[in-house]
């Protein structure tokens, strides 16, 4: 019976390898001929066509996620396939009966799911995915430019709003990353969000500020990605903190980014405080944080892991302080009907544990 176990493992490994090879071939076929996968028999109704396209996209997103560690080649091909399917002339084939409604629905599904994986640090090579996300947004805006007179049709569904919130969260949260290229990519993506707001406002007699309240500072952040000095991580972070202090309006995206960062900061704090003991006596909180570290630093030893955790904690601390006044403003005025600008300076006195006190204590 012992002799059977290696043979069973070999058979299992062989089956998995064959399945990955089959998937890789199918995904490459999409890259070579995307129209083939979007073919529908005559007479199929628009709803069925759209559902078929959505299932194709969801399948590629699943491959992107699950193959990020076990089969990087498959992940890269699935990312390229999704990008190929987001070319403007291909988007028009997702559902020819209702191209705009279909575009907003399916693309929002893709962006929401991938953004959520990035926020939860469930994708190892996040730098590649961030650059891919930027390319997807460029394709989306090219499609909207081509159909700017109809750009808003279908864009007001809840899923579209949630996808935009998740994107804003991602770009804010990767501003405190240790990966300088990831930081610069996240900064540049704010400009693409502003461009989308411009395109949606063009034929609707809207001001882009209506869709993107922090339009001006987001443009400045994006522009700074090309001009900012990157002589080192610490200097880069100081410049980013100066920009974040200019953010005037609380939005669901920047508020949730602050809250998610605060949760990460608390976990990192507990991990660092308990570091000598954490290996032998782990709390649930530190254990969860270690699982994130394992995905993030799988190629590093524990000494580098500790150094990176400390540096990231410092970046998170600065981020929380820089956006603290906006978060406090949101907490105090959550019942207000419309956003009101606040200064980027220190917030007024607040109860212990509030965002304002956190900002003050971390800045000190």
The residue that leads in pLDDT, 256 or 9, is 256
Query: Contact 352/361 with Cβ under 8 angstroms?
Result: no
The residue that leads in pLDDT, 3 or 231, is 231
Residue 16 pLDDT > 80: no
Domain boundaries along the sequence of the chain: 15-38+47-231, 250-364
Give the percent of the chain with pLDDT over 90: 62
pLDDT at 10: 52
Cα–Cα distance measured from residue 50 to residue 102, given in angstroms and rounded to the nearest whole number: 7
Considering the chain, what is the average pLDDT of its residues?
84
pLDDT at 17: 79
pLDDT at 292: 56
Give the percent of the chain with pLDDT over 70: 79
The three-class DSSP label of residue 346 is coil
pLDDT at 352: 39
pLDDT at 362: 40
Of 200-204, 210-214, 294-298, the poorest mean pLDDT is in 294-298
Residue 319 pLDDT > 50: yes
Cα–Cα distance measured from residue 44 to residue 13, given in angstroms and rounded to the nearest whole number: 40
pLDDT at 296: 54
Query: Contact 328/354 with Cβ under 8 angstroms?
Result: yes
Query: Contact 178/311 with Cβ under 8 angstroms?
Result: yes
Of 133-142, 152-161, 204-213, the poorest mean pLDDT is in 204-213
Of 16-20, 155-159, 235-239, the poorest mean pLDDT is in 16-20
State CA 78 to chain mean position distance: 17
Of 26-30, 136-140, 141-145, 346-350, the poorest mean pLDDT is in 346-350
pLDDT at 185: 97
């Amino acid at each position: 019976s012992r002799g059977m176990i290696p043979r069973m493992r070999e058979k299992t490994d062989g089956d998995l390898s064959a399945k990955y090879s089959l998937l890789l071939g199918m995904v490459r076929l999409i890259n070579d001929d995307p129209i083939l996968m979007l073919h529908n028999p005559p007479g199929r109704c628009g709803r069925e066509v759209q559902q078929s396209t959505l299932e194709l996209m969801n399948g590629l997103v699943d491959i992107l996620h699950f193959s990020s560690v076990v089969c990087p080649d498959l992940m890269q091909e699935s990312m390229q396939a999704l990008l190929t399917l987001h070319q403007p002339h291909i988007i028009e084939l997702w559902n020819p009966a209702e191209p705009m409604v279909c575009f907003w629905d399916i693309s929002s599904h893709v962006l929401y799911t991938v953004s959520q994986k990035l926020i939860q640090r469930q994708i190892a090579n996040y730098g590649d995915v961030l650059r891919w996300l930027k390319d997807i947004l460029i394709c989306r805006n090219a499609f909207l430019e081509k159909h700017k007179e109809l750009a808003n049709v279908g864009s007001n569904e809840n899923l579209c709003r949630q996808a935009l919130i998740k994107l804003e969260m991602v770009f804010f949260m990767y501003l405190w990353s240790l990966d300088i290229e990831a930081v610069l990519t996240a900064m540049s993506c704010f400009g693409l969000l502003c461009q989308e707001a411009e395109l949606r406002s063009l034929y609707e007699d809207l001001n882009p500020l209506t869709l993107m309240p922090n339009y001006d500072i987001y443009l400045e952040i994006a522009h700074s990605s090309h001009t900012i000095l990157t002589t080192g991580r610490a200097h880069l972070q100081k410049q980013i903190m100066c920009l974040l202090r200019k953010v005037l309006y609380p939005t669901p995206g920047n508020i949730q980014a602050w809250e998610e960062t605060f949760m990460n900061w608390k976990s990192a704090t507990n991990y660092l405080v308990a570091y000598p003991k954490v290996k032998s006596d782990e709390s649930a909180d530190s254990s969860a944080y270690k699982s994130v570290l394992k995905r993030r630093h799988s190629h590093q030893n524990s000494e580098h892991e500790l150094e990176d955790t400390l540096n990231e904690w410092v970046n998170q601390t600065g981020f929380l302080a820089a956006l603290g006044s906006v978060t406090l403003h949101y907490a105090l005025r959550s019942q207000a009907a419309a956003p009101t600008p606040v200064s980027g300076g220190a917030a007024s006195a607040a109860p212990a544990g509030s965002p304002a006190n956190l900002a003050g204590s971390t800045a000190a």
